């Protein structure tokens, strides 16, 4: 069974097929013309660690559905096409009619809620519920992401005290450490630089009112950044990059990694922030200790991404502009009460 780089809707596999393909032609599976083709049997080694995560189970799900749900792969590819390709690898026709379930269970390395409560009300600096450090460090390494110098544009906004007087570039970085208040990633007195992936996200994060005048700064990195990407762990981890053992370890920790990203993203009211931020602050301190330069997480406000950069000197402000907030998109839902 031949397939092509367009059959999977997966950039990693598309690149792999383009590099390994020995011939070009029409793909009988997806109908692509003049595409790089490969025998599906030649993809066996690539897929085997992924297949080994699952076993036949009469109360389970079709194999394509499990892979799609667990790893956010092949979201636009039909089960029929995937089954046709899988048959050409290591599975026979009859076996693929079976339902499957995971070999290992996704499990928490520790109880996150218990950890939060311990930090809040029992042990602030030496929590006994924190997991074994080497195991957590390995789990975070699956989400490691590097940026090249000058490759990314970041944004940061400040509401102007004097409406038409723009803040200079030198005042658009992280606050001085003696003025640093508690944030999602930093404890009071520790200054991190919070920036966003889009101007809208940066503006939304300062929670302005209609009519406010803001200074918006643009930044670029001046060193290669090593970050932990907590935006969407199931989509960020590419299972084809790992051995069977590593992939099983990553699978066990998927729910925890999602929890860590959610913890940084979810809205927190100001009167609860001091205690609610303790767990994410502790996590970010651990990430910094492991040699990372910052974390990426989804914004709950502007639709983009946020970055907490541990050293503001890693970024350089390259321009500032004045902007006016002309509208706010407010959404609500009714809360039931007795």
Q: 174: Cβ–Cβ under 8 A, 6 or more apart, which residues? A: 180, 191, 192, 193, 194, 312
Position 205 in a domain = yes
248: its two tokens: 């099983």
Domain hosting 22: range is 2-102
CB-CB neighbours of 89 under 10 Å: 18
In this structure, the answer to whether residues 201 and 288 fall within a common structural domain is: yes
The rounded percent of the chain whose pLDDT value lies above 70 is: 95
Q: State the total domains in the chain.
A: 2
In this structure, the answer to whether residues 81 and 117 fall within a common structural domain is: no
In this structure, the answer to whether residues 92 and 148 fall within a common structural domain is: no
| pLDDT tens, position by position, 3-62 | 898 999 899 999 999 999 988 999 988 888 999 999 988 999 999 999 999 998 989 999
Q: Which of 69, 84, 102 is the last residue of a domain?
A: 102
| pLDDT tens, position by position, 135-157 | 889 989 999 999 999 999 999 99
In this structure, the answer to whether residues 175 and 90 fall within a common structural domain is: no
Nearest-Å Rg of the Cα atoms of the chain is: 24
Q: 45: Cβ–Cβ under 8 A, 6 or more apart, which residues? A: none
110: its two tokens: 């520790």
In this structure, the answer to whether residues 66 and 117 fall within a common structural domain is: no
In this structure, the answer to whether residues 83 and 16 fall within a common structural domain is: yes
pLDDT band at 160 (very low <50, low <70, confident <90, very high): very high
Query: What CATH number did the domain enclosing 134 receive?
Result: 3.90.175
| pLDDT tens, position by position, 237-269 | 999 999 888 899 889 888 888 888 898 988 887
In this structure, the answer to whether residues 143 and 95 fall within a common structural domain is: no
pLDDT at 301: 82
Position 329 in a domain = no
Q: Which of 55, 80, 102 is the last residue of a domain?
A: 102
Q: Which of 51, 83, 102 is the last residue of a domain?
A: 102
pLDDT band at 65 (very low <50, low <70, confident <90, very high): very high
């Amino acid at each position: 069974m031949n397939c092509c780089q367009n059959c999977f809707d997966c950039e990693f596999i598309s690149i792999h097929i383009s590099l390994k393909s020995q011939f070009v032609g029409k793909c009988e599976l997806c109908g692509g013309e003049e595409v790089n083709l490969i025998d599906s049997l030649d993809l066996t080694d690539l897929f085997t660690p992924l297949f080994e995560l699952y076993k036949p189970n009469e109360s389970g799900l079709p194999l394509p559905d499990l892979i799609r749900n667990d790893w956010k792969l092949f979201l636009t590819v039909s089960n029929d096409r995937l089954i046709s390709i899988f048959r050409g690898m290591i599975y026979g026709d009859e076996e693929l009619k079976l339902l499957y379930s995971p070999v290992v269970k996704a499990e928490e390395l520790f109880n996150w809620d218990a950890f939060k409560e311990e930090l809040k009300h029992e042990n602030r600096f030496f929590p006994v519920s924190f997991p074994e450090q080497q195991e957590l460090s390995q789990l975070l390494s699956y989400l490691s992401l590097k940026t090249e110098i000058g490759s990314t544009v970041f944004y940061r906004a400040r509401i102007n005290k004097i409406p038409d007087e723009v803040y200079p570039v030198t005042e658009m970085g992280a606050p001085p450490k003696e003025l640093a208040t508690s944030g999602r990633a930093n404890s009071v007195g520790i200054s991190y630089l919070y920036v966003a992936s889009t101007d809208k996200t940066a503006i939304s994060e300062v929670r302005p009112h209609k009519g406010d005048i803001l200074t918006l700064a643009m930044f670029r990195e001046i060193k290669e950044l090593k970050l932990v990407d907590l935006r969407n762990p199931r989509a960020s981890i590419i299972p084809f990059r790992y051995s069977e053992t590593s992939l099983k370890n990553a699978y066990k920790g998927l729910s925890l990694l999602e929890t860590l990203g959610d913890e940084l993203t979810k809205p927190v009211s100001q009167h609860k922030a001091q205690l609610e931020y303790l767990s994410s602050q502790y996590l970010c301190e651990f990430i910094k200790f492991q040699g990372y330069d910052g974390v990426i997480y989804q914004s709950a406000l502007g639709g983009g991404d946020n970055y907490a950069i541990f050293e503001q000197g890693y970024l350089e402000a390259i321009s500032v502009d004045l902007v006016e907030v002309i509208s706010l998109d407010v959404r609500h839902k009714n809360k039931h009460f007795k």
